[in-house]
Amino acid sequence: MKKKVLFVCMGNICRSPAGECIFRSYLTDMGIEDDFLIDSAGTTAYHIGESPDPRMRRAGSERGVEIVGRGRQFETDDFDRFDLIVAMDRENLRDILRLDPRSRHRDKVHLLCQFIPDSPSQDVPDPYYGGSGGFDHVMDLIEEACPGILEKLQNGCEAQR
């Protein structure tokens, strides 16, 4: 059974589609992408149906990663569909957990930076209002987290049906 991971940010046009596509590329490079289902979502409805931000796509392209997708909003069914839910920052984490008032799914929701050894930060900063360097920084953080996310999926998650 495939392991399923969902990356979540606020609008689903910068950080979370980058997480989805970078992690997919990481798995492809390892030859194991068919063992996983990867998706992304936003905590808000601001950008439903929109493509990823052109600046994020450019940052990905410069590293050989195509950042694609269509914005969608996180929904409560995602708790049951995914084995691991990766929030980009503490605000996203809080918004996700508000949809789980009984904390039934708390153990499958994590911050991306928790998967970066010795990370000085808890949050992947939102690059939307900044310059191109912010998009590169997001790419760096996601790339650093990929091994830890894979380890969690392989060793610490029960597959959802």
For each of the chain's 161 residues, which pLDDT tens digit applies?
A: 899 999 999 999 999 999 999 999 999 999 999 999 999 999 999 999 999 999 999 999 999 999 999 999 999 999 999 999 999 999 999 999 999 999 999 999 999 999 999 999 999 999 999 888 999 999 999 999 999 999 999 997 655 54
Task: Please name which of 106, 75, 100, 62 lies closest in space to residue 8, comparing C-alpha atoms.
Answer: 75
- Can you give the pTM of this predicted structure? 0.96
Assess contact for 96 and 106: CB atoms under 8 A: no
Beta strand spans in 14-67 (E)? 36-42
- The CA distance from 109 to 132, in Å, is 29
Architecture of the domain whose range is 3-155: 3-Layer(aba) Sandwich (3.40)
| Residues taking part in catalysis | 9, 15, 126
Residue appearing with tokens 């409560």: 76
